[in-house]
Amino acid sequence: MGSLLTDRVAVISGGGGDIGGGIARRFALEGAAVVVCDISQTKADTVAAEINRSGGRATAVCVDVSKPAECEAAAARAIAAYGKITTLVNASATVSPDGNVETIQLVDWQRALEVNFTGMFLMCKYVMGHIRTAGGGAVVNIASSHGHFGLPGRSAYCSTKAAVMHFTRVLAIDYGPDNIRANTISPGPIDTERSLRRYGSRENSNRVRGIGQVLGRTGTVEEVAAAAAFLASEEAAFITGTDLRVDGGQTAFKGSSLERYSS
């Protein structure tokens, strides 16, 4: 497709998922070698195989991002396969049961933090040194519009996504001198298997997620992947420590209805 990411080697956590997989496919089309990391070996294998079949370069690695040794091993696999790492995308996340603080089980709260937040920290912990050794690069962490506003019963998910954004600002400050940029993407309502699973139907998903006010549609995995390719590339060379909302205007207008002004 293009050459935005020629010579890059990208490690992508949650790379077997809808958005992570879309990012892996787009990065490969832009010339990057991709290391598809996922807790599901099958999902990682599927995405990597598809990329390799279509002429790209991909390696699948099974990793639970909440386990330090597995994150370290994933980085080592990337180095063994491609000799360097220039780019890290953290797209893994878990969906925890809804509830208020009285009803959320501690184990579910802790798992959300472990996967959505600590997992990202651990992947950064074991990858940043390799990106520095490569002479610099970029990190793209996937947050969410739900890190900008709350949803009832989803304190764990919403808090971890807000935390991802603030963590990434500090990461950008710490690693700017090493020529490593770090940014987040906050996807809004994106059509994925996971949102369908969560909300049951597209109509219910649209209702709950407050869709329809600005662009009047949900987003696609490809639209998130395009933003990630941009942020990972030299096109975004002076962009670091920021959040790019790929949300169709969801966070610009969070009302219940929009009456268009007509003169």
Ligand X SMILES: NC(=O)c1ccc[n+]([C@@H]2O[C@H](COP(=O)([O-])OP(=O)(O)OC[C@H]3O[C@@H](n4cnc5c(N)ncnc54)[C@H](O)[C@@H]3O)[C@@H](O)[C@H]2O)c1
Known catalytic residues are 157
Between 132 and 194, CB nearer to ligand X: 194
Least separation in angstroms between residue 95's CB and ligand X is 7
Burial status of residue 223 (CB atoms within 10 A of its CB: 0-12, 13-18, 19 or more): middle
| 195 versus 240: smaller Cβ distance to ligand X | 195
134 versus 164: smaller Cβ distance to ligand X: 164
CB of 150 to ligand X, least distance (A): 14
Binding site for ligand X (CB under 6 A): 13-14, 16-20, 38-40, 43, 63-66, 91-94, 115, 119, 142, 144, 187, 189-190, 192-195
* Smallest distance, ligand X to C-beta of residue 238, A: 25
User: Residue with the closest Cβ to ligand X?
Assistant: 17
Query: Residue 53, Cβ neighbours under 10 Å: how many?
Result: 9
**180-187 and 137-142 strand pairing:** parallel
Minimum gap (Å) between residue 107 Cβ and ligand X: 14
Residue 6 or 40 with smaller CB distance to ligand X: 40
Nearer to ligand X, 134 or 140 (CB): 140
Task: Write down the least CB distance from residue 181 to ligand X, Å.
Answer: 19
The Cα-based distances of 181 to 79, 128, 154 in angstroms read: 20, 11, 30
